[in-house]
Structure 1
Amino acid sequence: MSSSRSSSPDTASSAGPQLPVDISASPDSPGYAPDMDSLTTASFARLRDFSNWRDSEFLVYRCFTYAGDEIQMKDFILRNFEEMQKAMSALEDDHVHILNTTSRSVFLLYASELRELSQSLGLAPWISYGLEYNVLRGLGRRLYGSHYGKLFPPVDGRSSFSALIDIWFTLPLVDAGVEDFTHPGQELHSLPIDSSKGVTHLCEDAGMFYLSFDKKTRQTRILYSSAIPARQKLAAACKNAEELGVRDDPFTFITCALSSILQDQGMNTHSFFALISKMEDYSNSLRFEIAENEEIKVKETAIQLRKSLPYLEKILESVNCTIQIIEDTISEHKDCRELLSIPSQHFLRVEKNLQTLRSQAISFKSYQDTRIRRINVCLSTLSSLLSLRTDSAIKASTEAMTRLTEANREDSGRMNDIAIATKLDSEAMITIAKLTMLYLPPTFIATLFSMGIFNFDFENGKNGRLVMSSQWWMYIIFAGPLTLGTFYWFRAVTRSHKQASQKAEREAKQPE
């Protein structure tokens, strides 16, 4: 049975090594919608042009029949990308084709391979060619058929309506792994988390899923990123295709992807909160006033909680987006019931599963909102305790300054008393100096005249003469050197003390 699809990839496969290629939406593709898609050309690097990427696994391809048999499974590396494109362009059967890209989503978004592969499959330009793919997310759907071209010619002279139904979604995710991975194009840097099993790193990721269903041939094409761990569920759905009725209701595959996302994000979130709960318990165990030795740990806890908030909000963003995708999927499922002629039994089964996922996602959102509020309360509590600690330190410092001021005031009083006493001593010394000046000259003269050098020979105290001894020079010979020796001795002692003081100062200034 021939496929009604056509593909005309608009790629620059002849570009030189490690040179960007220009890619744009192909207006010849059956999935192109002129009222929705832009023909703006963008440049992207090709991973297969880099030597360290050529031998990396890029795609896992599996093909199932609706009888539940797996008829093909093949791994493609980037070196064989052109071979993969050729194989994907030639899919003409009524089977289920599952394509799982194994590279990280951030590389798929910033490189050309995913867009080239989508064009080879004849898919709508679901991955934007600009940076808006980080903002414009959610569920996309497109219905196109015979009115877009002569894709479905009349059978036996009768016109029969047929259609290609494409449904896709993109949403933000948070991945947990042992690898510390951060890409410049990501909003959040990797966040390490210590656990009993070692260090786990949280990193930002993106989930991408595309389902294309041909109503005429019943061929199903599924392309999804490795961030959605749905490989096992998709394979199980294919193996039970007859029982699940996936030939009539392909929304089962969307249910597989959404349930895998919720379970994986729920597991990552629970593991994340298991660590945060320990920090929360520590915050709640703190007393009104934290001790000095606890201050550092309190600050570290506050910093860790603050770093975790962006990832908590990213998980909440992912849950909100998932809820909207589930709501839109439920609505789209109802719209396609008549178009796809879905039997009631299969329709109700998928609808109930989607409603269950919606309920779980809403509960997940409530759980996440509660945890974020609790983290904010913990941060507020820690901030208050640190503020109280700071206030106590300021109060203690103020009291110490007050005591120091009082001590300085007392010292000032004592210094004032000392100054007054010193002034009195100075006045007394001045008085003594004046008395010395008054009595010293007469005393010196009296002493000098009383010596045996001078002899006063007066008769009755009236007439006489002053006779000076011929040995008067002996006084000068002994008194002069002794006086000079006293001055030099005093000077030598003073200089010795000064040199010893300078040496002690130099030794004190030298580093140990």
Structure 2
Amino acid sequence: MSSSRSSSPDTASSADLQLPVDISANPNSHAYAPDMDSLETASFARLRDFSGWRDSKFLSYRCFTYEGHEVQMKDFILREFEEIKEAMSTLDDENIHILNATPRSVFLLYASELRELSQSLDFAPWISYGLEYNVLRGLGGRLYGSHYDIWFTLPLVDAGVDNFTHPGQELHSLPIDSSEGVTHLYEDAGMFYLSFDTKTRQTRILYSSSIPAGQKLTSACKKAEELGVRDDPFTFVTCALSSILQDQGMNAHSFSALISKMEDYSNSLKFEIGENEETKVKETAIQLRKSLPYLEKILESVDCMIQIIQDAISEHKDCRELLSIPDQHFLRVEKNLQTLRSQAISFKSYQDTRIRRINVCLSTLSSLLSLRTDSAIKASTEAMTRLTEANREDSGRMNDIAIATKLDSEAMITIAKLTMFYLPSTFVATLFSMGIFNFDFDNGKNGRLVMSSQWWMYIIFAIPLTLGTFYWFRAVTRSHKQASQKAEREAKQPE
């Protein structure tokens, strides 16, 4: 069964792409354990196939004798990788060989070089060939032939000035403002492998650059006789673990200094925040929320480190007879490991407290923002209530106006009816005033009224005109009313 992954670095171009190399555990190796190691084959890209990587530093190599003398120191670039493998496969002396893989751990995990180098050194397949290497971490050990090997991997949080992000990482880099400028936190992994030959006492150490143990390992080699590292190689394990613990503690402290400022601001807020503070409160809450995953990642690293230290203490006791460790050197290493365990437990308590405090701050800021929102909703509700009351008052006034308008309309209709009643008769009377009636009076005292014999013509014209006017008015009024009712019905119908 085979698996493949997209593992090409971000700096590579499509023109550099080469066929991936298939790697699996070597069943012919003395370090192979069929009950533990899988023969599953996985495909990995090779960093040395990319032009942007070929001239990059890959390995820093140092060799010491047990008398404390440095006999060789050399840096290798990726272009020389085949030379590296050949040189490492022929190590047959009684010295201490320290190899520091300098690329970022994420590239070492997603590329083939570290696994190929481990096979050249005849190491156990300590880095999984499947995707579970991001999950299965901790301390491992193996006995094969005259070799005693011990290794560990653990998650780390590293700091740097560059904004580094890789698709294989769970967390994106987090910028932090400090007095020295902007520092970026990013997810990393620590890898350490020690192989000890119980016959020749040769020691081989391979570790990633994310473990800043170079100075301590060099000092331990220079004092090899005094520290008894020929008999107890766990001194080198102590160097690596103490370096990791101190480095993670420094990162956590500098990170916590920023968190403390946001905590102080959160605690200084009043019960109700103003409109001008709302934006800053939201920004603070977002920054705290972004910081929380990294605090949890540091806690995860410390938890893993505690387990590794405890397992190392147990492993050290189990190997006391196998390695023939003198009492003095055994007790010294055991006390150092116990000290590291105590410091790591204290570190864990520190991180637990910081995470709880951040969660309290987030709850406080969330409550203040909720109160701010509730106050805004309450003010909006009160404004809507006042607006509703004003609308109700306006509606009452409109009703009064409508009633008054209706009364005015009725009065106008009455006037119109009276006008229509008198106007036709008046018009007809005027029309026929010339000869229908004749008032023959003498100085307004004596006289007689003479009526024409055609007086009935006045009735014939006046009455039909009056009735026709009323009918026309009624028809026009009814037509307008029907049109208004139709418009109202259409307006009430749903679309």
TM-score, shorter chain, exceeding 0.5: yes
Aligned residue in 2 for 1:164: 147
Query: Partners of 2:112 and 2:348 in 1: how far apart?
Result: 34
Amino acid at match of 2:214: R
Q: Find out whether 1:329 has 2:312 as its counterpart.
A: yes
Q: 1:267-306 residue pairs with structure 2 within 5 A? A: 267-306=250-289
Deviation of residue 411 (structure 1)? 1.2
Q: How does 1:86-125 map to 2 (within 5 A)?
A: 86-125=86-125
1:346 equivalenced with 2:329 (yes/no):
yes
Deviation at 1:337, TM superposition (A): 1.3
Q: Percent identity?
A: 84
How far apart are 1:443 and its partner, in Å?
4.5
Tell me the TM-score normalized by structure 1.
Answer: 0.81
C-alpha separation between the residues in 2 aligned to 1:464 and 1:188?
Answer: 118
Per-residue CA deviations over 1:254-312 (Å, capped at 9, x if unaligned) read 11100000010011111111111111111111111111121111111111111111111
State the match for 2:70 in structure 1: 70
Three-state SS of the structure 2 residue aligned to 1:362 is: helix
Q: Distance in 2 between matches of 1:33 and 1:340?
A: 21
Aligned length: 433
Contact residue 137 and residue 152 of structure 2 kept, 8 A: yes
- Tell me by how many angstroms 1:440 deviates: 3.1
Q: Find the aligned partners of 2:120 and 2:165 in 1 and give their Cα distance.
A: 30
Over aligned residue pairs, what C-alpha RMSD do you find? Answer: 2.0
What TM-score does the superposition give when structure 2 sets the normalisation length? 0.84
In 1: Cα distance, 2:123 partner to 2:155 partner? 22
3-state secondary structure, aligned to 2:152: strand
Aligned ranges for residues 366-381 of structure 1 at < 5 Å? 366-381=349-364
1:340-386, Cα deviation, whole Å (9 max, x unpaired): 11111111111111111000000000000000000111111111111
Match of 2:414 among 411, 431, 436: 431
Task: Provide the secondary structure at the position in 1 that maps to 2:319.
Answer: helix
> Which of 376, 392, 408 is the aligned partner of 1:409?
392
Which of residues 368, 373, 384 is equivalent to 2:367?
Answer: 384
Q: 1:51 is matched with which residue?
A: 51
AA aligned to 1:105 is S
8 A Cα contact 1:69 1:239, kept in partner? yes
Contact 1:209 1:224 in 2 (8 A): yes
Tell me whether 1:127 sits opposite 2:135 in the alignment. Answer: no
Which residue in 2 is equivalent to 1:7?
A: none
Counterpart CA distance in 1 for 2:433 and 2:70 is: 145
Contact kept? 1:127, 1:133, Cα under 8 Å: yes
Residue 218 of structure 1 is matched in structure 2 by 201
| Residue 398 of structure 1 pairs with residue 381 of structure 2 | yes
Distance in structure 2 (CA, Å) of the matches to 1:275 and 1:17? 42
Deviation, structure 1 residue 196 = 2.5
**Corresponding residue of 1:477:** none
- The Cα of 1:448 is off from its aligned counterpart by 6.7
Choose which of 229, 239, 258 in structure 1 pairs with 2:222: 239
Q: Within the alignment, does 1:313 sit opposite 2:296 as a pair?
A: yes
- Which of 194, 201, 212 matches 2:184? 201
Partner of 1:491: none
The answer to whether the 8 Å contact 1:165/1:213 transfers is yes
1:356 matched residue in structure 2: 339
Maintained 8 Å contact 1:458/1:464: no
- Cα separation, partners in 2 of 1:279 and 1:458, compared to 1, 3 Å: same
> Structure 1: how far apart are the matches of 2:450 and 2:337?
152
| Separation in structure 2 between the aligned mates of residue 447 and residue 68 of structure 1, nearest angstrom | 145
Residue 62 of structure 1 aligns to a residue whose secondary structure is strand
> d(CA) in 2 for partners of 1:462 and 1:373?
120
Letter of the aligned partner of 2:33 in structure 1?
Answer: A
Residue 194 of structure 1: CA displacement?
2.1
1:262 maps to a residue whose letter is L
Which amino acid in the other structure matches residue 44 of structure 1? F
For 1:440, what is the secondary structure of its paired residue? helix
Give the counterpart letter for 1:308 in structure 2.
Answer: S
Unaligned runs of 5+ in 2: 1-15, 442-446, 453-495
Relative distance call for 1:35 and 1:464 in structure 2 (3 A) is closer
